[in-house]
Amino acid sequence: MADSTELALLTYLARHTRDAPALLVATARLELLDVEPTWGTGLGAQTTLPLEPLTDDDARTLAELLVVGIDPEKLVDVAGGNPLFLEELAASVAERGDEKLPVTVREAIAARIDALPTAARDALLSAAVIGKTFWRGILETVGSIDGVDEALAVLEARDFVRRDSSSQVAGDAQFTFKHMLIREVSYATVPRALRRERHAAVARYIEERLVGEALATILAYHWREAGEPTRAVPYLLSAADAARRGWGQERCD
């Protein structure tokens, strides 16, 4: 979820963008209104479109397109109109070859992860430590993965991750998890001790090979999750100073 500063920026742009044709699209869960109950109101050209769960007929049509050889009603009944859950259920059935359906979307994702070849599974779990967006070079170094390209090809083919058309790191292929929930389940699968080791490895890689003030927040996060707060503090201070100079006052509090 966006923080209050980012929400304020969107509101400002919606109110003051006049001379250029612009369409601002913001997607959010209902929980946003618990935190910002009046957000979006008072804008001259604002429209709210509630996105309801899939109807049974639409869910059945999607299930029939996603998987064959199983009664689509089973998928429809379990998914409850959630299209992501329906996709993960269908993929789980196709990849695992059985009809014992997980009862939550997290279980469906976890079952798919367990069914991956060893190298691809290791790559996915290591990538989850790097973040929702990750890079081939960092993954190969941090995860100590043999055949990283083959592993990434498997993850792409099974639609866990997607290769981005451009990269923020010059000369290094960039990938993004298809859905944040896939990254969260993958991350939770990594044992805590190994997670700390991988966070430290990511931080060291960034310190040694990448430069830039914008990386301070990332380095602070990885050193903190590595269990080394003293190494995180200088980067936290740097990130706070950058936010202050960029008028992100609430991020400095």
One domain, residues 140 and 110: no
Contacts of range 183-189, beta carbons closer than 8 Å, 24 or more positions apart: 183/127, 183/128, 183/131, 183/132, 184/128, 185/106, 185/109, 185/110, 185/113, 186/109, 186/113, 186/124, 186/125, 186/127, 186/128, 187/125, 187/128, 187/129, 189/110, 189/113, 189/125, 189/128
Which domain covers residue 137, as residue numbers? 121-188
In the prediction, which pLDDT does 184 show?
93
One domain, residues 203 and 161: no
One domain, residues 173 and 209: no
In the predicted model, residues of the chain with pLDDT beneath 50 are 248, 251-253
In the prediction, which pLDDT does 247 show?
59
Final residue of a domain: which of 114, 129, 160?
114
One domain, residues 93 and 139: no
CB 123 within 8 A of CB 152: yes
CB 70 within 8 A of CB 45: no
In the prediction, which pLDDT does 252 show?
47
Give the pLDDT confidence of 45-99 residue by residue, as tens digits. 777 777 788 888 888 888 878 876 677 777 887 787 888 888 888 888 777 765 6
One domain, residues 162 and 145: yes
* Total tally of structural domains belonging to the chain: 4
Final residue of a domain: which of 170, 188, 206?
188
One domain, residues 139 and 183: yes
One domain, residues 16 and 30: yes
One domain, residues 250 and 200: yes
